[in-house]
Structures are given as structure tokens and as C-alpha cells.
A and B are shown apart, each in its own frame.
Chain A
Amino acid sequence: MKDNKYFLDDKPDKISYSEVWQKFFNWARAKSLWVVAYGTGCGSIEIPPMVTSRFDAERFGVSTVGTPRQADVLIISGYLAVKTLKRVIRVYEQMQSPKYVVGLGACTVNGGMYYDSYNTVNLVELYIPIDVYVAGCMPRPEAILAGFAQLMKKIKEGRADGWKHYLDNFEQYRKNQEKIIKNWKIPNYNW
């Protein structure tokens, strides 16, 4: 939607820092991961116990935030319908980079028990890059915390670069998305 003046379609500039700074940033980023309060499937019911007092994800620096603009992590919690995928892409593109995606449950890996459903996306990684998968149907909050520990390790080592992959292969991702979303009403990119 090029003619819409309210959306910015330009891609962001890539700023490169020296390796020492990069390591410092990664160390700092891993210590405070803010999660968008957005649930897509049945897995979203596992998020409230994770962030509240019983499992208390905040001791690892994982907290929820109500807006994608301030968030670092998007959790794809369970099955993803085409209708939801539109919203997920919108939320993902609104997040500021660096951003990370956690795929929760068997449905994000290969469709899970909905592998033959007419409305569930089988491979989420075709449409948005996923950094960490947590398998299970559904995974318990302990498993989600283990997944977050894995994500923190990846960030510290500088390997959680799904958002860079999305930027570099943007045309390919957009082609995959437009293959299943027929009526594309959202802007080309809302950075």
C-alpha cells in the first residue's frame, strides 16, 4: 500500500558497532527480555503461570509488555491460523530490532495435531524467522523457561539473528506470506 502516507515503507539503516560493543550489547539484551502480551493459540494459557508468582519469569529478566514497540520477544504460542498470521506479521514488523521469536508447541514445528487442517500453518518459519523452538503439546512453564534460557544463551553468543535473516531475505519471506494471504491490506513494511 504505497499511497498511504501514514505508513513508513522504508527499511531501517543497519548500524554496525565494533565487536566489543556488540558483545556488551548482547550481554545486556540477554538480561532483559520483554515479551509482547499476545497469544495466538492454546499455548497462551501457559504464559500467565510463567510470568506470575509460581514460576516467576521476572527473576530471569523476562517480563510482559503491552505494546510491540517496546518488546524484544514475540511468542508464537501454538497453532497459527491464516487469519492470525496476518496479525502476527503486523506485530512482528512493528517491533524494534533486535527482536526474537519463540515458537511454542508442536504446531509451530510441523503443524502438530493439526497437520492436515485446512486453516493451520504447518511451518511457521517460512513466514517469520524463529530463533528457539520449544517442543511439546503444550509445553509446561518450566519448558518455556528452559527455552528462554536457550534464547539467552544464543543472544549472548550472538547467534540469535533471525531478525537479520528476515531483513536480508525480506523478499523471499514476503513472497511466502503473500502465497497464503490473499487479500493483502497491510503496508509493505511498517518499520
Chain B
Amino acid sequence: MEDLIKRIESIFKVLKKERGKRDNLWIIEVEKDSLHAVLSYLKDNESFKHLALVSCVDWIENNKFQLSYILWSYQKRQNLIVKIFIDRDKPEFKTVLNLFPQAEIYEREIRELYGVSFEGNPTQNEDFVLEDWEEMPPMRRDFDTLKYSQEKYGDRDSEVQKTNIRKIISDFTDEWRRK
């Protein structure tokens, strides 16, 4: 798999590379302008024909969104994650529909849950799992779900019997060990 990374490095600028938890899983970070070229190269020349997932991570400390494109090669049986960072204040990117048609539904999901819009995706504004959502996208980390839930759905006004379950379990196991 190192050969593959070297071949990619010889053509494109790879900002960061690291091995994943398995031998056949590597993660590379590229510049966002060269992502389409990298994906196209991997698809046509390196047999990474299967886009398994497009996912998004909210790095609120760095004011960035991370987009990860997880690729799989059937011939080599290898995973490659290509990741880019986009600006959090301006969450826009271009679609990869022309390379992988299955990206349509992933991009629609990210659009709804993170608010990242993908230029060129025709169905990105349709409802995915939420209907009539008016707040900020719910998977962003500055969205307070507990506050929203209590305001919108209410809470049961009754005494909650608070028990420390961890303590009960640890007491129980201690007792059990002593026997």
C-alpha cells in the first residue's frame, strides 16, 4: 500500500498521510482543489471503483469541516480514505456525482445534517430524514440538542429516582470477587 501512496505523491500534493488500523487502510489528506483529480486518478488508474461512504466531521476548534471520501478497491482489497478540509464559515464544495453517482444520497444527508452544500447536486435540497426542519443543522457541534429537546418536546414532571448504577455494579462485582 506504501507504493500506492508514493505513486499518488509523485503526481499530487499530499498534505498528510497515515496508516489506519489495518494494513490495507490508509488515510491521505489532499488539497480541496485537487480532490476531483485525485479521485478520478484513483478510480481510473488504481481500480478504486467503489465509493463506500462520504462523511463529514465538524472540527469546531479549527473552524473547519472535514469531508472524507472512503474508497474501496475490489481487485487490491484495499481501503483508502481521502480527506479534505473546507472552511466552516463558508460550507460549500463541489459534488463528485460525475465520478461516483452513489454520492448523491450521501451529499444529501450531509447537506441536511451539517449544512454543507454541494454545487452541482440536483437533489441536495430535498428532505432526507428530517421534515420541515427550521433550526441550524442538528449534527453541528454548537447545536444544543438537550435544550432544543426540552423546549420542543417537554419533560416529564415527576420525581426521578436517581441511582448510581456504576456504584451498584462495582459493589456487586466486589462482593462477587470476595466470595
User: Which residues on A are within 8 Å of B, measured CB to CB?
Assistant: 82-83, 86, 109-111, 115-123, 126, 179-183
In Å, the complex CA distance between A182 and B131 comes to: 9
B170 contacts the other chain (Cβ, under 8 Å)?
no
For residue A156, give the distance in angstroms from its CB to the closest CB of chain B. Answer: 28
B interface secondary structure, majority: loop
Q: Which residues of B contact A120 (CB under 8 A)?
A: 149, 153
Looking at the complex, which one of A109, A116, A126, A182 makes contact with B149 (CB distance below 8 Å)? A116
In Å, the complex CA distance between A123 and B129 comes to: 21
Q: Which residues of B contact A121 (CB under 8 A)?
A: 153
Interchain CB contact under 8 A, A123 and B143: no
In Å, the complex CA distance between A123 and B156 comes to: 7
Q: Could you give 15 example pairs across A and B, Cβ below 8 Å?
A: A83-B129, A86-B131, A109-B156, A110-B156, A111-B153, A115-B149, A118-B145, A118-B149, A119-B130, A121-B153, A122-B155, A122-B156, A179-B152, A182-B132, A183-B132
Interface residues of B in 9-39 (CB under 8 A from A): none
B115 contacts the other chain (Cβ, under 8 Å)?
no
Interchain CB contact under 8 A, A117 and B149: yes
Leading 8 A-B pairs by shortest Cβ distance: A182-B132, A116-B146, A122-B153, A110-B156, A183-B132, A118-B138, A118-B145, A83-B131
In Å, the complex CA distance between A111 and B134 comes to: 22
Q: Which residues of A contact B101 (CB under 8 A)?
A: none
Interchain CB contact under 8 A, A110 and B155: yes
- Given the known interface contacts A116-B145, A116-B146, the answer about A180 and B134 at a Cβ–Cβ threshold of 8 Å is no
In Å, the complex CA distance between A121 and B155 comes to: 10
Looking at the complex, which one of B132, B148, B154, B156 makes contact with A118 (CB distance below 8 Å)? B148
In Å, the complex CA distance between A24 and B84 comes to: 70
Q: Which residues of A contact B134 (CB under 8 A)?
A: 182
Q: Which residues of A contact B131 (CB under 8 A)?
A: 82-83, 86, 183
Interchain CB contact under 8 A, B153 and A83: no
In Å, the complex CA distance between A82 and B149 comes to: 12
In Å, the complex CA distance between A63 and B92 comes to: 52
